[in-house]
A and B are shown apart, each in its own frame.
Chain A
Amino acid sequence: MSTASPASVERGASLRLGLPGFAAALLRALIPIAIALVVGAILLAVTGWDPISVYRLMAQEAFGDWAAWQGTLAAATPLLFCGLATAIAFRAGAFNVGVDGSFVLGGLAAAWLGAELTGLSGWLLIPLCMIAAAIVGGLWSLPAALLRTRLGVDEVVSTLMLNYVAIGLASWIVNSLLLANGSANSASDPIAPQAQLPTIGSQATMTIGLVIALVAIVLFALWSTRSSSGFELRLAGLNPRFAEATGIDVLKVLGGAMVVSGLVGGLGGGVHALGVVHRFVDGFSPGYGFTGIAVALLARNGAWGLIPAAVLFGALASAGATVQLISAIPLDIVDVLQGTITILAAAQLVGLWRRRKAAA
C-alpha cells in the first residue's frame, strides 16, 4: 500500500467496514472509548469502587448542568487548538508531534507582550498577542519542517525532541528574563487586565478563546475541502507518490502544513495564556500538545470530528479534577481512561508509520 500516511485513516474506515463513511468513522471512534471504559471499570472494581457510580458521578461533573458544561468546554479549548494543529499536519502526511512546543512558546510570547505593552487598548493588544503567539509557534516548527524537506530527517523524532527543547527554553526564559518581581515560583508578570480574553458564560475560564477555536475549525473545514491548496494537502497525505506524479510539490505541501500546524499550536498557547493563566508559568502545558494528537487521531483528522473528540478529553480532564475534590476517587482513573483511548487511537498511527517506513 502506498497510501501509508495518517491522512488515509479517514477514508480507510468506510472501505473496510463497508458502512457509510460517517457511521463507520463514528463507530471506529467509539471503539477505543468503549474499550477504555471497560478497562477503567475493571480497575475500579478491582480496587473496590463501583464503576457504574463512579462513571455516573464523572458524567454528572462533566455534563450535569451548565456550569459543568462550561468547565468541560473550557478544558476542551486548548485541546481544540492542539487537535486542529496536529490534524493539519497529519492530513498532509507529516507526523508533527511537536505541537506542544509551539503551544508553550506561543503562550510565552503572548504572556510577555500582554504584560509588557500595558499602554495599548485591549482591542489592539489582544490581536497583537495572538499574532505574535501564532508567529512564534509557526517559527518553532520551521526547523523540523526544513530538516524534513531538505535533508529527509524524520519529523517524528525531530518534533518530539524539540518539544523538550521548547519546554526547557521557556522555563529558562521565565526563570531568568521574565521572572515576575518578588516571585520565586517560575512565573512571569501578570498580563494587563485589558489583555485578558473576555469570558463568555458565568465561569472565568470559558472565554472567547473557545469561539476562536471553533472559527479556526470552520475555516479549516472550508479550506481543506474547497481550496486548491487544501486539495493538495489531502492528496499529498493520501498518496504522496501519486501527488508527486500529478505535479504537486509534496515536500512543499508537507513543510507548509508543518508550519501552519505550529502556527495554530502557537495561537492555542496564546489563547491559553490570555484567557486562562493570565501570565506564563513553568509547566504551562500539562501535555496539551500530546492530548491534541489523541484528539486528532480520534477525529481521524476530519475538521468536525475534532469538536466531539476535544470535548471528550476536556470532559475527562474537567470531571477528573472536580471528582477528586468531592470524593476520594483517585484522579488516576482519569489518566487510565485518557491513556487507554490514546493508545488505542495511536495504535493505528504507529501501524501507518511503520507501513510508510516499509514503503520508503
Chain B
Amino acid sequence: MHALVGENGAGKTTLMRMLFGLDRPTEGTVVLDDAPVALASPADAAARGIGMVHQEFKLVDELTALENLVLGREPMRRGRIDWAAAREQARELARESGAGLDWDRPVAELPVEARQRLEILRLLHRRADVLILDEPTAVLGPAQVDDLLELLRGLRDRGRTIVFISHKLREVLQLADTVSVLRGGRLVETLPAAAADRDTLVTLMVGERPPVVSLAHQRAAAPAHSPAPALAAQSLGLVDRDGRRRLDDVDLTVRPGEIVGLAGVAGNGQDELVETLVGLRRPTSGTVAIDGRDVTARSVAGRRRAGLGFIPADRRGEGLAIDSSVADNAIAGLHRSDRVARGGWLKPGARERVAQAIVDAYQVRCASLKLAAGRLSGGNQQRLIMGRELAREPRLLIVSQPTRGVDVKGAAYIHGQLLALRERGVGVLLISEELDELAALSDRVVVIAGGRIAGEVAGPAPDLNAVGALMTAAPSGLKEAA
C-alpha cells in the first residue's frame, strides 16, 4: 500500500491520471508487473487490472447497487442478464472483502460511505489488482474512515496493490507501507511509512522555503477598526444536492483594513464558502453580512450594491467573458451605474471612456479595447478583472487565487494593490493555494478543513507549519491546536 502526498499542484493527481491512462506521459514509462506498458485509455488500464476510484463517484444514481456493480460487465445467459449470477458474484465479493451492501437500493439512497464501498467492489468485480484511490477519506467522517481503512487493509493482505492520495498525514502514517512525497511535479522522496513521522512529511511537502520577501515588513499596522465588520458570516452551513455537507457551522469575520487569508487543501469547502459569501449559492443555514448589512437573502447584484467586490479563481470562466471585448468586460457590473448608463441606455462613448480609464489605471496592456478579453495574457486578464472590481470601490473584496498563472512581476503588482486596499480600509478575504502568498499578505490566516473552520493562525507572517498542520488535520475531534 503506497501513499502519495504533496501540496496542491504538486502533481499527485496528474501522476494518478497517467497511471490510469487518462493522461499520457510525455516522457518515461509506466511499468506494470515488471513490463513497461503504454496505457492508451482508462479502458486499456482497466483491462490490465488497474482500477481507479475518483473523488467524484462515477455511479448511476438511479440504478441499484447491484446494477451498478455489474454495469458494463453483466453476466449473461442466453442473451439476457443473469441476475441470479450477478447476485452470487456480489455475495462472493462481499464475503471476500468483508464489506456488505444493501444491493437492492438505488445508489441515490445510499450514504456516501456505501457508495464508496460500492466503487471499490466494482473494481474488484472487474478483477483489478491495482487500486488507485484519489483522496478516499475526504468525504468521510472519522468512524467511516476507520471502516474504509479496515477494508483497504484487508485487500492489501489478500495481495492487492493500493495507491492512494491523501492530505491527511495521520491516515497516511496509519495505513501506508510506503510514502512518496511530491513537490512541484517532482518526486522528492520515497520512504517507508515506519520511518516517517508527521513533521518529516510536512517539511518534505512544503520544502525548504526561501526567506519570504515579505510585504508584511513594509506595511503599517492595521488601521483603526470601524464598528461594522466588512464581512461577517455566522454559522454558515451548506448541504449540496447529493446530500453531502460542504460547509458546517462556519464563522468568519473580516474587519475593514484587514486581510484575512483562507487556507485549505483543495476541495475542503473553500470554493463553496466563496460562492456562498458572494451569493452564487444559498446557504442551508446561517447568515452573511457585508459592511454591517445582512445580505443573506440578496442576490449577487444586491451584495455588490452592499459593497462587495469579487475576483474569482476561475478567471476565464467567471472572471471574464473571454469572447467579449475588453471594453465590455471592463464595464460588466457597472453597466447600470450612472457612470455608464442613463435610463437603461448606455451613454454614448461612456463604455470606452470608463474602460480606457481602467485599462490605464491598472496597466492592462492591450492593443485595442475591442480585442477579445480571452486574448490577453493571464496577468493582463487579472489586471483587467482587478481594475473592474476596484473601480467599484468595494468595502469588501473577496479574491480567490489572485496570482495563479501570473508571472512574478504581475503577482507583485497584484499584491501591492491588495495591500493598498488594506491601507484604504477595505476588508479583504484572500483565498489562495500559495501559502507564501497568504503568509506575506495576511493579518491572520483562517484554515478550512472538511467544510469547517479548523483554526486560525495569527499574523503578520503567520507560521506556515502551523497552517499546514491545520490543513492536514483529520476532521472533527482530531484537530490540533495551532
Whether the pair A227, B344 counts as a contact (CB closer than 8 A) is: yes
- Return A359 CB to nearest CB of chain B, in Å: 9
Residue A239 is within 8 A (CB to CB) of chain B in the complex: yes
Q: Which of B322, B332, B346 is the one whose CB lies under 8 Å from A246? A: B332
Set A8, A11, A226, A241: member contacting B317, Cβ < 8 A: A241
Chain B positions 325 through 366: 1 when the CB is less than 8 Å from some CB of chain A, otherwise 0: 000100111011000110011101000000000000000000
**Interface 9-residue window, one of A37-45, A75-83, A230-238, A268-276:** A230-238
* Shortest CB distance B435–A (Å): 26
Flag B91-107 by CB within 8 Å of A: 1 or 0 each.
00000000000000000
Cβ of A226 and Cβ of B345 under 8 Å apart?
A: yes
Contact A247 B322 (CB under 8 A): no
Cβ-defined contact, B324 with A11, below 8 A: yes
A contacts with B: majority SS = helix
Residues of the A chain whose Cβ atoms lie less than 8 Å from the Cβ of B282? none
Tell me, in angstroms, the Cα distance from A12 to B331 when the chains sit together. Answer: 21
Q: Is the CB of A11 within 8 A of B301?
A: no
0/1 string, A207-251, CB within 8 A of B gives 1: 000000000000000000011110110110011011111111100
The interface residues of chain B lying within 8 Å CB-to-CB of A245 are 278, 280, 300, 310, 312, 318-319
Residues of B within 8 A of A15 (CB): 323, 372, 374-375
- Residue from B280, B300, B310, B341 with most neighbouring chain A CB atoms (10 Å): B300
Q: Report the separation of the CA atoms of residues A2 and B374 in the bound assembly, to the nearest whole angstrom.
A: 12
> Known interface pairs A241-B317, A245-B318. Does A227 touch B345 (Cβ–Cβ under 8 Å)?
yes
Query: Which interface class (under 10, 10 to 19, 20 to 34, 35 or more) fits A?
Result: 20 to 34
- Asked if residues A228 and B372 are in contact (CB atoms below 8 Å), the reply is no
Residue of A nearest to B322 (CB): A3
Interface residues on B, range: 20 to 34
- In the complex, the answer to whether A239 meets B346 with C-beta atoms within 8 Å is no
A249: chain B residues within 8 A (beta carbon): 299, 301
Chain A residues with CB under 8 A of B375:
15
Q: Cβ of B406 < 8 Å from any Cβ of A?
A: no
Q: Considering the chains assembled together, what is the distance between the CA atoms of A243 and B332 in angstroms?
A: 8
B304 contacts the other chain (CB 8 A): yes
A312 CA / B304 CA spacing, docked (Å): 46
B316 at the interface (CB under 8 A from A): yes
B323 touches A242 (CB 8 A): no
Q: What is the bound-complex CA distance between A216 and B417, given in angstroms?
A: 47
Chain B residues proximal to chain A, CB less than 8 Å: 278, 280, 299-301, 303-304, 310, 312, 314, 316-324, 328, 331-333, 335-336, 340-341, 344-346, 348, 372, 374-375
Not counting A239-B322, A248-B301, a sample of 14 additional A-B residue pairs whose C-beta atoms are within 8 angstroms of each other reads A3-B323, A227-B345, A228-B340, A228-B344, A228-B345, A232-B335, A234-B324, A235-B321, A239-B317, A239-B323, A239-B324, A242-B318, A245-B280, A248-B333
Cross-chain pairs A/B with CB under 8 angstroms, 15 sampled: A12-B323, A15-B374, A15-B375, A226-B345, A228-B346, A229-B344, A239-B324, A241-B318, A242-B332, A243-B321, A245-B300, A246-B304, A248-B332, A249-B299, A249-B301
Which A residues lie at the B interface, using CB under 8 A? 2-3, 8, 11-12, 15, 226-229, 231-232, 234-235, 238-239, 241-249
9 closest A-B pairs by beta carbon, nearest first, are: A247-B301, A246-B333, A239-B321, A11-B323, A2-B317, A245-B318, A246-B332, A247-B304, A247-B300
